[in-house]
Chains A and B, each alone.
Chain A
C-alpha cells in the first residue's frame, strides 16, 4: 500500500443496543445508538473539519471546528459531542458554518509558525489539512501580536520531540495519555493564553516525568508538536506495510512506514485486534537494533572456541556445519544431536528447525525457550482443560468484573494489554493482585487493587489452595457449572482436599505471610463480586485470571497452573467473554513455538510422539522414520553434554547462556560439546561457546507468522531485504539440504501449508487467509472455520473439566543463616528479555543496568543505601550490582532483572525446577547481600573470556 493515514472517524465506535437512522447533507445513514454526528457523517463518506477530535479518545468539544446545523435545534452544536437521534436532519457544510470555521482557523493560524515547507509534518498535518478544508486564505490579525512562537522544544525523549510553538492545545495528547495509555503523565498547565501541555510537574521534561514513552500522544497529535525524531531526520514515508511486533506476547500489529529500504517509523495499526491502535516504547520505538553496528551479517566458523572467528562464505559455513554434524552422528548416534527453536522467530521457522532435528538429525532432542518460561502452562492447562493455551481473546477483558493477576507484571511485561486492563479497572472492575512485590498495578494513577496479597515467594500453591478453601467451605462454589461442565467425582475429591483445615488461610498464614482476613476477603470478592452483586439477571460476576512467569517459574509451576484452572472452574469462570485463564506470554512467539512441535515429547498441535498414528502422518509426509521416544529438554541436554552423551546443538534465536539458570552449568554443558551452532543477529553470550555462527534476519526482513498470547496467528511481512542475505527459514533449509534432506520451499507460505496439512488445529490457516482476514485464533478448522476467540464455550476440549489436587510442596530452596534473603527476578518496561535488542537502542536511557531492589530494613541491617555496590551470592554463584532501597519489596525479599550480561543475574539462580516440566525456578533463590567494591572475579573473568571469544580474524575473509 502507499503511504496515507488510516481513516479517522473522529469519535470512538459505539455498540448501542438499537440502530438510529438520520439524514446528513441529504444522505441517509444508520448507525448504533450513542454514535456521534461526527462519526455518522464520516461513516457515510463525509468529513466534518475537526482538530480536537480523533477516534482513539472520547469527544472533548473544545476546538469549535466541527459545528453543524441540526434542524429543530438551536445554535450550532459540536458534531463530536452531539449523539445521533432518530430522524435527525443535519447540515455539515453551509455558508454560515464555513464562515465560523474559517474564523476559528484564522485564530489558530495567527499563533502558529508558518514554516510548513520545512516542518517535519509537512503534508502529514491535520492543521494544514483543516486550513485547506475550510479555505483559509488570509489572517487578518497579522502575526505581530502576543504569541507562543520561538519557544524552546523539549528534546529530552530519545524518540520524539515536543515543540510547544506548534501545539494548538487540543489536549488530544493529554487524553490519549489518560484514556489510551492510562499513565496520566500529561496535563494542561495554566489557563487561557497561558495554557500549555506539560509532562509531569512544571519542572519536569518528558524524560524526567512519569511518561512511559508509549507514543500514544505522538499518535494523537494533529500537528508537528509531538513528532518522531526519525521523521524529522529522514522525511515523510512513501509506503507502509502492516506487520506484527517481535517483542512481547501481546502481538501488536504496526504499520512499518518505509522510505525505500529504510524504516522511518512504526505506527500502531488501528485495526490490530490485539492492540487496537496502541503501542509501547519497545514496539513503537526500539527497532534501531536492526541496523546496529554489532549486527553480524556474514557467517563465521572456527575449529575451537579458543580461536578467533573466521568469516566465510555461506557455502563454506553450511558445508562445515553439515560435515561436523554428520561426523558426530556417525560416531555417537542420532541422540547426540539436538536443536532449540526460537520463540522470537516465526511459526514457519520453528516448524522447520524441529523438522530438521526430528527428520534430519534423527532425534527428538528439540526444545524451545518456552521450556524456561511457559512450559508449565502447556502441561497444566492441557491436563485441566485439554488444550495448552489461554482461553480468551484480549477484548474479553472489556467484560470482566473481577480481575485476578498472579505472578505477572503487565505494565512492564505486557504494557499494551495492561493499558486495556487499567481502562477496565477505571470503569469499575475489581482487582486482586497476588505478587510478592508492589507492582504498578497495585496502585498507580486512578487504579488501585482491592486486595494485594503480598505472598512469600514460592507459596503460590498454598495461596491458591487457601482461596479455594474459602470458596468451597463458605459455599461460594458454582455447583451448577461444575455439575454441567466438570467431572463431579473429581470435583468432590478436590473439594474435600481443599476444605481440610490445614488449607485454611489462618493455618497457612505463617507460610504464605498473607494475612488470613485479607485472603478471605479476596476469595469472596473473586467468587461473588462483592457489594452490588447479584447484578440484574447475572448472579455471578465475570472473573478473569491473568498470570505470568511468577506462576510458572517455580518448582511447583505446573501445580500452580492447575490450581489456577481449578479456581476458574470452581467459580464457573470458563467459556464466555470476560472470564477465563489467561497466560501472558513472555516472547512474541512463545505460543507459536509451542504449537509448532518444539517440545521434545510432542509433534505440532500437542500430539505425543509416542502416538503411532500421528507419527505415521509425519513420516509419510516427510519421508523419514521418527524416533518414538521423547527427546531431551534443554536442562537435560546440558546434563547429557556434561556426561559426554550429547555433543552438538543448533540454536536458533536464543541466548541460553544468559537466559537460562545457573550460568556455570550452562557454560560447562556448552563447553563440553563438539559443535555448537548459533543462528542469531548478534554474537550473543552463547556464541562465546559456538563453533559456527549463522547470521540471522530480523522480523523486518522476513515473511511468516507469529502467534500471540490469545492464540492469534498474525502475519509478519518482509519490509526490507535481509542484511545477511537470507530469511532464517532459508538458512535452516540450506543446512537441511547440505545434510541431503532435499527440501525445496520457495516461500514461507509453503511451510504454513505443510503445518496446516499436518496439524488439525491449523487446518484452515494459510497466508492467503491471514492476508485477507488479518489474523485468526486457533483452532481454525472445520468445527471453527473462522477461528476461536474464546475456547471451551460449549464444553471442554478434553470433555469434562478436570479438577487436579495440588498439594503445596515447599521448594528445596530455603533461606538459612548463610543465605537469609529470597531473590526473585523480573523485567522492566524498557528492556526486553536478555536485552540483546533493547540494549542496542536508546531504551537504555530508562534502564542502563540491572539493580537490586531491597527493603529499607534489610538495607539498614547491612549498612546499604541506594546506589551502593553489593555482592549478591547464592549456593550457585555470585555477582555484583547496585542497590535500590525500596519498600516495593517486602522485608526478606530482594528483586532484580536479567537484562544485562554484565550482571549475569543467572549466575546466582539455581538448578531447581518445576517437577513436571523442568521449567527453572527463577523466582526463588536464597541469597545473601553484602557490601562490595565492584565486579566479582567471575564478572571480570567472564568479560575477558567474552572479549577473547568474540575476536574476528578478518584476514581470512574474501
Chain B
C-alpha cells in the first residue's frame, strides 16, 4: 500500500481542519471528538496513511487524536 506524498499532505490538512473546527470544545473533548470523527468517517487506508505520515505538520489536537487512534487500533 502506497500513499502518495500529496495524499498524505491532504490527510494531514484534513485532520488539522477537523481539529480546528472542534477546538472550541476545549482541548480534551476536541481530541476525543477528532479521534472519533476520523474513526467513524475515514477508510482504513486513510487511517493507515496518516498514522504512517510525518506528523510534524499536525496541530496539537490533531496529533493527540491521531496518536490515540493509532494506539487503539
Contacts and interface: CB of A to CB of B under 8 A. Distances in A.
Contacts of A632: 43, 45-46
Chain A at the B interface: SS class: loop
B2 A630 contact: no
B42 to A, nearest CB: 7
A640 interface: yes
Contact of B17 (A497, A555, A636, A640): A555
Given A640-B45, A643-B3, A915-B20, A805 B40 contact: no
B18 to A, nearest CB: 5
A462 to B, nearest CB: 13
A609 to B, nearest CB: 9
B28 to A, nearest CB: 14
Nearest to B2: A643
Interface string B4-38: 10110010001001101101110000000000010
**A558, A630, A917: most-surrounded residue (chain B CB, <10 A):** A630
Contacts of B6: 639, 642
Given A642-B4, A645-B1, A645-B2, A630 B42 contact: yes
B45 to A, nearest CB: 6
Contact of B21 (A364, A601, A916): A916
A639 to B, nearest CB: 5
A19 B27 CA distance: 63
A631 B43 contact: yes
A644 B2 contact: yes
Interface residues of B, number: 24
A562 to B, nearest CB: 10
Interface string A524-538: 000000000000000
Nearest to A642: B4
A807 interface: yes
Contacts of B40: 601, 608, 610, 630
Nearest to A629: B44
A365 interface: yes
A636 B2 contact: no
A918 interface: yes
Contacts of B42: 630, 636
B18 A915 contact: yes
A624 interface: no
A601 B40 CA distance: 7
B72 to A, nearest CB: 13
Contact of A645 (B25, B37, B45): B45
Chain B at the A interface: SS class: helix
Contact of B20 (A364, A497, A809): A809
A365 B45 CA distance: 12
A556 interface: yes
A335 interface: yes
Contacts of B4: 642-643
Nearest to A914: B17
A303 B39 CA distance: 38
Contacts of A558: 21
Interface residues of A, number: 33
Contacts of A807: 20-21, 23-24
Contacts of A555: 17
Nearest to B19: A915
B37 A916 contact: yes
A846 to B, nearest CB: 39
Contact of B24 (A365, A631, A805): A805
B10 A639 contact: yes
Contacts of A806: 21, 24
Contacts of B18: 915-916
A642 B44 contact: no
Contact of A559 (B2, B10, B21): B21
Nearest to B18: A915
A600 interface: yes
Nearest to A610: B40
Contacts of B39: 610
B43 A630 contact: yes
B24 A643 contact: no
A636 B10 CA distance: 10
Contacts of B43: 335, 364-365, 600, 629-632, 636
Contacts of A497: 24
A335 B21 contact: no
Interface in A622-641: 629-633, 636, 639-640
Contacts of B46: 632, 636
B24 A915 contact: no
Contacts of A630: 40-43
Contacts of A636: 42-43, 46
A601 B41 contact: yes
A862 to B, nearest CB: 33
Contacts of A633: 41
A608 B3 CA distance: 26
Nearest to A911: B10
Interface string B28-70: 0000000001011111111000000000000000000000000
Contacts of B24: 497, 805-807
Contacts of A642: 4, 6-7
B7 A639 contact: yes
Nearest to B37: A916
A915 B22 CA distance: 10
Contacts of A644: 2
Contact of B14 (A364, A600, A608, A918): A918
Given A335-B44, A630-B41, A918-B14, A643 B7 contact: yes
A335 B46 CA distance: 12
Nearest to B23: A807
Nearest to A811: B17
Contacts of B14: 915, 918
Closest 10 CB pairs of A and B: A807-B24, A915-B17, A805-B24, A915-B21, A632-B43, A643-B4, A629-B44, A639-B7, A915-B18, A809-B20
27 contacts: A335-B45, A365-B43, A497-B24, A555-B17, A558-B21, A608-B40, A610-B40, A629-B43, A629-B44, A632-B43, A636-B42, A636-B43, A639-B6, A639-B7, A639-B10, A640-B7, A643-B2, A643-B7, A805-B24, A806-B24, A807-B23, A809-B17, A915-B14, A915-B21, A916-B18, A916-B21, A918-B14
Interface of B: 1-4, 6-7, 10, 14, 17-18, 20-21, 23-25, 37, 39-46
Given A640-B7, A916-B41, 8 more contacts: A335-B45, A555-B17, A610-B39, A630-B43, A633-B41, A642-B7, A645-B45, A806-B24
